């Protein structure tokens, strides 16, 4: 059910991936999930325009180590800039470049990026084909349509394959639904039936059972886990059938690595947020969250973690 998967010669140890999550999938969190069994992890989405203007903040999102394989996600609406991003030194270490054509956030859509490209098929096709010319492996992540009454999943899947993409990930919800409601498994299946390249199903996977159901109902070649990983990254260990380390050990390691890489202030703020996610289902969570968000430094966050995840 969760075998190795070959994506244009890039072999992943299994077919259960960590989704790109804006604001969260930095290097320490990706490494946490990889250590727990994720077959492939993606950076948070990176602006091609930001790379063009040599933004240091944008480059920080692309920090990576010697892990293999590894994937980055980029977004933009200008084919030439998207190709230049793929050819840039910043993206050179990555084995796969994913193009975001599914983000539903208004500030992205207003710029003609993300899911806005579902309404401009010629431009979407041009962006993919230009990125493919970079010589990198190119994948595309997209939604089933803008609204539930205008789904274009199979058509868009064929467009991606025809333009040279070596994999697609289908989020089984329309843009109007954002993250609400169950994924449309039939639409994901329609993408799988329309193309020969690997198809990854995204949406509604919170457990091993959900992953099995999604693959069974869609015929997809794998699944991508998003929000579930924020609340409980051990979901990857469940699927990989490995025994995860205790939450306290995982958290303190993530805290240490985040501080070393991004500094004291970022680590304090970021790991307070992560601890709040990890507290789901913990007795007394509301009080712990109140204390966490008053923590002023990583030492205080670590002390609270020792108490919370004992």
Residue whose token pair is 């409980």: 232
Name the average pLDDT for the chain.
95
Catalytic residue among 12, 33, 103, 160: 103
Could you tell me which residues come within 8 angstroms of residue 202 by beta carbon, excluding any fewer than 6 positions away? Answer: 19, 141, 169, 170, 171, 172, 183, 223, 224, 226
pLDDT band of 149, cuts 50, 70, 90: confident
CB atoms within 10 A of CB 48: 27
Please tell me the distance from the alpha carbon of residue 131 to that of residue 138, in angstroms, as a whole number: 7
Mean pLDDT of 95-103: 96
Separation of CA 14 from chain center:
16
Could you tell me which residues come within 8 angstroms of residue 56 by beta carbon, excluding any fewer than 6 positions away? Answer: none
**pTM to 2 decimal places:** 0.95
Residue 35 burial class via C-beta count within 10 angstroms: exposed 0-12, middle 13-18, buried 19 and up: middle
The per-residue pLDDT for 64 is 94
Does 160 participate in catalysis according to the annotation? no
The per-residue pLDDT for 56 is 86
pLDDT above 90 (res 106): no
pLDDT band of 199, cuts 50, 70, 90: very high
Please tell me the distance from the alpha carbon of residue 220 to that of residue 200, in angstroms, as a whole number: 6
Token pair of 131, please? 């990125």
Mean pLDDT of 134-144: 97
- What pLDDT digit, counting tens, does each position of 160-181 carry? 999 999 999 999 998 888 777 7
Q: What is the share, in percent, of the chain residues with pLDDT greater than 70?
A: 100
- What pLDDT digit, counting tens, does each position of 210-253 carry? 999 999 999 999 999 999 999 999 999 999 999 999 999 999 99
- What pLDDT digit, counting tens, does each position of 26-74 carry? 999 999 999 999 999 999 999 999 999 988 888 889 999 989 999 999 9
pLDDT above 80 (res 101): yes
């Amino acid at each position: 059910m969760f075998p190795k998967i070959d994506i244009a010669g890039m072999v992943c140890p299994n077919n259960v991936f960590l989704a790109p999550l804006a604001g969260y999938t930095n290097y320490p969190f990706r490494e946490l999930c990889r250590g727990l069994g994720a077959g492939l992890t993606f950076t948070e989405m990176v602006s091609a325009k930001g790379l063009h203007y040599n933004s240091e903040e944008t480059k920080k999102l692309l920090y990576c180590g010697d892990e293999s394989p590894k994937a980055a996600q980029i977004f933009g609406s200008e084919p030439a800039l998207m190709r230049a991003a793929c050819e840039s030194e910043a993206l050179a270490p990555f084995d796969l470049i994913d193009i975001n054509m599914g983000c539903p956030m208004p500030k992205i859509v207003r710029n003609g990026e993300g899911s806005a490209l579902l309404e401009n098929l010629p431009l979407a096709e041009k962006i993919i084909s230009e990125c493919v010319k970079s010589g990198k492996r190119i994948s595309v992540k997209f939604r089933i349509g803008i609204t539930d009454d205008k789904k274009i999943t199979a058509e868009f899947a064929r467009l991606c394959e025809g333009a040279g993409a070596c994999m697609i990930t289908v989020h089984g919800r329309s843009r109007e639904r954002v993250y609400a409601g169950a994924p449309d498994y039939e639409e994901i299946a329609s993408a799988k039936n329309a193309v020969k390249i690997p198809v990854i199903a995204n949406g509604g996977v919170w457990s091993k059972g959900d992953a099995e159901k999604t693959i069974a109902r869609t015929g997809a070649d794998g699944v991508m886990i998003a929000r579930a990983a924020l609340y409980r990254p051990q979901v990857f260990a469940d699927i990989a059938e490995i025994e995860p380390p205790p939450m306290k050990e995982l958290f303190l390691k993530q805290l240490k690595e985040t501080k070393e890489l991004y500094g004291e202030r970022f680590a304090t703020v970021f790991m307070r947020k992560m601890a709040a996610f990890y507290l789901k289902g913990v007795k007394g969570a509301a009080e712990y969250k109140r204390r966490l968000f008053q923590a002023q430094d990583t030492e205080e966050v670590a002390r609270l973690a020792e108490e919370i995840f004992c």
